[in-house]
Structure 1
């Protein structure tokens, strides 16, 4: 057999100049907010493939660099970067005793390393031993290397057999082939994650999603929009450059185990898991009525025995003056016209006719249905409750509801057993056993006590506000998903609210708004808004409001939500009506119960403390102001400072501690040689596309 010595320059002799191409340059310079970048060009570039004219093997995107003919429109000549830079001599590990030289032959020959038969071509040859290897075996190390934009160093796959290991990209364990970085010993990535498409179209979102390897701009409180769980600052993810939209890799893609969390977590699949006919009286939340009142529904359903509390002389047990049945629409609660009319029974806006009002002109009103509340609730969980609606100190000091924990100075139901301090407001007295919620369609939410399910989960957090649900609280749980709502967010947030600064109703939103790229802030308190928590939003005007700030518009625009208080979830004084007149023996004038607003910059006359955002008594005649907690003993003998301590304990208990960064273990990787393989980017189907 005749062999001809060749130089590397002779192998790549070509009539046209060659150009070094970087296949990943478009990805390296990619900006998500650049509307001039064509997504189709990015997809085409990642799917690039051609044949090397020297070794005859494939050139792909993961080689990153290759040489092409400068006359590409008429000439398709291409070659690997490694083939362009071949050396004329080689020290081969399988034949260490002699140096191999680059040869060329027009006759057939066989590679002694892989035993492949060749008709002709270029190879490395030992003249002493008559030993030949082809270019693929000679460039084995280069062929196993891949370049990926998600890591700065080349990666190598040298696994002899499929192994079980943790993938750096997705944070999950896989069994199969891994690529490793010899520089960063902790970096090991499964071939499925290596070949993920850089751009992905998903039925979960209106825009194309981009594979992201960097997380410096993702807020720490962001959640996956499919499984509604937290996103690690280390794992790769898909995100949208036009919206605040982030999803886990395994949530947006469907590729079998272990990537199946979409079926076991999150906001539910599209198939309904119950029959509506089996639950004819099921309540659907959020309630569309701005008064957010479930009492009329229960009284109409006939499940409770109720009676008319208005006597023949038009007197009601909760008030000292006769009541009139009013049917004048101009007097209704209307936040757009700054008319604020709250019911003294359920402490909700009066939006329907007729209703009862005091004929003496005092600030007392009742829904018509609040005059027909049942005197007893026998089917309440764990207690037999009696209606409490008599005038007393509770009209201004209030009580803490044993279910929702909110303070209330309206009507309530108290346990009839001696020495039992179980008290609930009228809304929680009718707390449903099961509900449907728009935020979690197709699955029933059942009422449970948090302590009964915390054995399977260390902590429970409300998916609406992110606040931890205490063990003694009732919450609503999905039996199919890891989805929980505390009873405040589940029952007390209406579907729409009105804002006097916006002519459109604002709708309750459960996630960041599509096509909203800017930061969110609340129109009421003018502070930061976290869109991963529920909030109110006007699509036409792009205005947003904390869900806890919404009732401030409906009541008295109090400056309660300052930086010292929680601005998520439900407004903590939603069950308090202000404006009651209270008379003390130590003061000649009636005192008004109000909430200290931002304009109340003075100090308490008793403790010399700030008045802003605290419950205060205020005299409109002599301007005397003091905290409710600093007030004297009321006529019934109960100390008012108990209410102030109760309020302080409540707010301290609801403060959410700052989340700790998740600790990630370093994976130990063992390297083994394997056959040469090249990754291929495939077409990934989303979960909704599965047959």
Structure 2
């Protein structure tokens, strides 16, 4: 059977698979169809006179030199031979060369592959809908039932071809109807193939999962590509943008490389690996190693020591530097009369040597807070602290020493996102699109955080979480883990608060005991992570001094208001063998009777 095709001067002979010798079959993959420029597949048409000239059987069906396309129904499209230079198809947005169909009046071009789709798929039956769908041109504004994007652009003759159900109000882009059920992500941060779902699977609707590209919360009715093992979800629309314009990471790429002085997180020792290097670089002076010093933050002389006195477990947990509230290390300075301690580096800090200009250009100084309760609230992270802080009297703000020190290290590299540098920043207005990659919470106004131009955000608190911690409920080191948790059950529960853990948040986990913890439920890392406990206070309604503790006695409650401590912080009397305890609210009320006590919980 011969065909005289308008795209070639010689007759073409139709050949099926049985008409070729084995040697000839081996050469077929190197032949390309002269219309669509893709590898030839049998059956096909071949030219006897011209070597390697062949035509797909499907491409040969476009024998008419003019076709009507629903994307551009105003004029017929004519068969056109393009130059070898690339041109973008107005239907699929892919670059092509060679033959096409075009409208000279509107300067519109459609590649052969898109023209074939129209010829072969004018009416289809799709799994997502019970009725047949007809390929039409949109004449009104409507949203695609798959990707939720507009299908019609007003005041334009060029519109995306779409399928319509003539029985009910169902519309879908032609491109969405042609999506493959399994798709891989090339040059991206996910290795497993993704499965197409016509709605968010039921087992994932209990959480607010986000699209990994646009970071918007998924709607249950929208189509998604997902990997159930990794809880990885992508809108079909976002994935089509990825296919057209390349990798999301490459699109936001910038030429910045990590330097030798940049922070590398996570670390196991926040002081040695973060605070100390940044401060030594900041001060640009050698540390003084004197046997005894007088420091602005303490009324007694501080003596240089190289040994750590350990009496019991509580003393070990609270052997923290009173400046940066991090575990003490030798050598250090200590007070012979009380348990005041300072790192060698922190002891070299002084208001004269370390100052800062606040956001509004005011001069803020380094101070040590002193009051009866012994703590203040940080204006940046909104948590309590009783170590060093920077104070701007004009703005009436106080900032944790650590919060500001971390900002001095302006950029860092995180192991989970090592392809890009993260930059330190602060948010002055709340943006719903800025969510921390670790805790999935919004980055609110004034919060310090780390950001990458590719849309990766981390709270400063989350970014500086240590790689391993200890907990009194587990004798092994508890490691910081990042999702996906492929070797763990679908449901994880925190051993402290007993709440279910979101499968996309970071956790601390003990592999030996199979125990998981929220980072904020670890006492040393929670909202009181910048507070050193162990100080004493005298209240009027008790004869003995009370000592502040990070972890109260088991099943103890406040003798003032009856609030249960649940193992949390409290003020306890050691003389009474811990039979008398007060919560922080009752202590505040005892010092200042105008303080309003909260309603006690059962």
- How many angstroms apart in 2 are the aligned matches of 1:311 and 1:197? 71
For residue 578 of structure 1, the aligned residue among 508, 511, 533 is 533
Whether the aligned pair in 2 keeps the contact of 1:596 and 1:613 (CA below 8 Å) is: yes
Are the structure 2 counterparts of residues 201 and 458 from structure 1 closer, same or farther at C-alpha, using a change threshold of 3 Å? closer
- How many angstroms apart in 2 are the aligned matches of 1:584 and 1:282? 48
Are the structure 2 counterparts of residues 629 and 611 from structure 1 closer, same or farther at C-alpha, using a change threshold of 3 Å? same
SS of the residue 2:549 aligns to: strand
| Counterpart residue number, 1:389 | 368
- How many angstroms apart in 2 are the aligned matches of 1:529 and 1:341? 31
Whether the aligned pair in 1 keeps the contact of 2:571 and 2:581 (CA below 8 Å) is: yes
1:530 to partner: Cα distance: 0.9
Are the structure 2 counterparts of residues 281 and 217 from structure 1 closer, same or farther at C-alpha, using a change threshold of 3 Å? same
SS of the residue 1:193 aligns to: helix
For residue 462 of structure 2, the aligned residue among 483, 489, 503 is 489
Are the structure 2 counterparts of residues 289 and 611 from structure 1 closer, same or farther at C-alpha, using a change threshold of 3 Å? closer
For residue 327 of structure 1, the aligned residue among 281, 286, 306 is 306
| Counterpart residue number, 1:631 | 587
CA RMSD of aligned residues (A): 4.3
- How many angstroms apart in 2 are the aligned matches of 1:313 and 1:161? 83
Whether the aligned pair in 1 keeps the contact of 2:389 and 2:398 (CA below 8 Å) is: yes
1:487 to partner: Cα distance: 3.1
1:334 to partner: Cα distance: 9.2
For residue 231 of structure 1, the aligned residue among 218, 222, 235 is 218
| Counterpart residue number, 1:414 | 391
- How many angstroms apart in 1 are the aligned matches of 2:280 and 2:572? 41
- How many angstroms apart in 2 are the aligned matches of 1:318 and 1:300? 20
Whether the aligned pair in 1 keeps the contact of 2:426 and 2:446 (CA below 8 Å) is: yes
Are the structure 2 counterparts of residues 243 and 450 from structure 1 closer, same or farther at C-alpha, using a change threshold of 3 Å? closer
1:471 to partner: Cα distance: 2.8
1:196 to partner: Cα distance: 1.9
For residue 217 of structure 1, the aligned residue among 199, 203, 220 is 203
SS of the residue 1:592 aligns to: strand
1:548 to partner: Cα distance: 1.0
For residue 429 of structure 1, the aligned residue among 393, 396, 404 is 404
1:173 to partner: Cα distance: 3.5
Question: Structure 2 matches for 1:446-461, cutoff 5 A?
Answer: 446-451=423-428, 457=431, 460-461=434-435
So what's the TM-score if we normalise by structure 2?
0.65
- Counting matched residue pairs gives 469
Are the structure 2 counterparts of residues 591 and 339 from structure 1 closer, same or farther at C-alpha, using a change threshold of 3 Å? closer
Q: Any unmatched runs of 5+ in structure 2?
A: 1-40, 44-56, 59-119, 152-158
Are the structure 2 counterparts of residues 537 and 248 from structure 1 closer, same or farther at C-alpha, using a change threshold of 3 Å? farther
| Counterpart residue number, 1:287 | 267
- How many angstroms apart in 2 are the aligned matches of 1:251 and 1:504? 43
1:221-276: CA deviation from partner (whole Å, max 9, x where unpaired): 2123455442221111122243433233244556655x77x53xxxx449852333
Q: Higher relative CO (CA 8 A, sep ≥ 6), structure 1 or 2?
A: 1
SS of the residue 2:520 aligns to: coil
SS of the residue 2:493 aligns to: coil
Whether the aligned pair in 2 keeps the contact of 1:331 and 1:339 (CA below 8 Å) is: no
Whether the aligned pair in 2 keeps the contact of 1:465 and 1:534 (CA below 8 Å) is: yes
Whether the aligned pair in 2 keeps the contact of 1:604 and 1:611 (CA below 8 Å) is: no
The farther-off stretch of 232-241 and 248-257 is: 248-257
- How many angstroms apart in 1 are the aligned matches of 2:137 and 2:310? 81
- How many angstroms apart in 2 are the aligned matches of 1:241 and 1:430? 40
- How many angstroms apart in 2 are the aligned matches of 1:291 and 1:486? 18
Q: Is residue 146 of structure 1 aligned with residue 146 of structure 2?
A: no
Are the structure 2 counterparts of residues 573 and 348 from structure 1 closer, same or farther at C-alpha, using a change threshold of 3 Å? same
1:377-402: CA deviation from partner (whole Å, max 9, x where unpaired): 43433332322237x326x4300112
Are the structure 2 counterparts of residues 599 and 587 from structure 1 closer, same or farther at C-alpha, using a change threshold of 3 Å? same
| Counterpart residue number, 2:146 | 169
- How many angstroms apart in 2 are the aligned matches of 1:329 and 1:596? 22
1:408 to partner: Cα distance: 0.2
| Counterpart residue number, 1:534 | 506
Question: Structure 2 matches for 1:239-250, cutoff 5 A?
Answer: 239-250=226-237
1:444 to partner: Cα distance: 4.2
- How many angstroms apart in 1 are the aligned matches of 2:487 and 2:175? 30
- How many angstroms apart in 1 are the aligned matches of 2:475 and 2:558? 37
Whether the aligned pair in 1 keeps the contact of 2:215 and 2:433 (CA below 8 Å) is: no
SS of the residue 1:432 aligns to: helix
- How many angstroms apart in 1 are the aligned matches of 2:596 and 2:365? 23
| Counterpart residue number, 2:438 | 464
So what's the TM-score if we normalise by structure 1?
0.58
- How many angstroms apart in 2 are the aligned matches of 1:573 and 1:547? 12
1:516 to partner: Cα distance: 4.0
| Counterpart residue number, 1:178 | 162
SS of the residue 1:430 aligns to: helix
1:355-376: CA deviation from partner (whole Å, max 9, x where unpaired): 334445x543322222112424
- How many angstroms apart in 2 are the aligned matches of 1:293 and 1:633? 41
| Counterpart residue number, 1:200 | 183
Question: Structure 2 matches for 1:15-164, cutoff 5 A?
Answer: 145-149=123-127, 151-159=128-136
Whether the aligned pair in 1 keeps the contact of 2:435 and 2:457 (CA below 8 Å) is: yes
Whether the aligned pair in 2 keeps the contact of 1:274 and 1:442 (CA below 8 Å) is: no
SS of the residue 1:414 aligns to: strand
Question: Structure 2 matches for 1:671-682, cutoff 5 A?
Answer: none
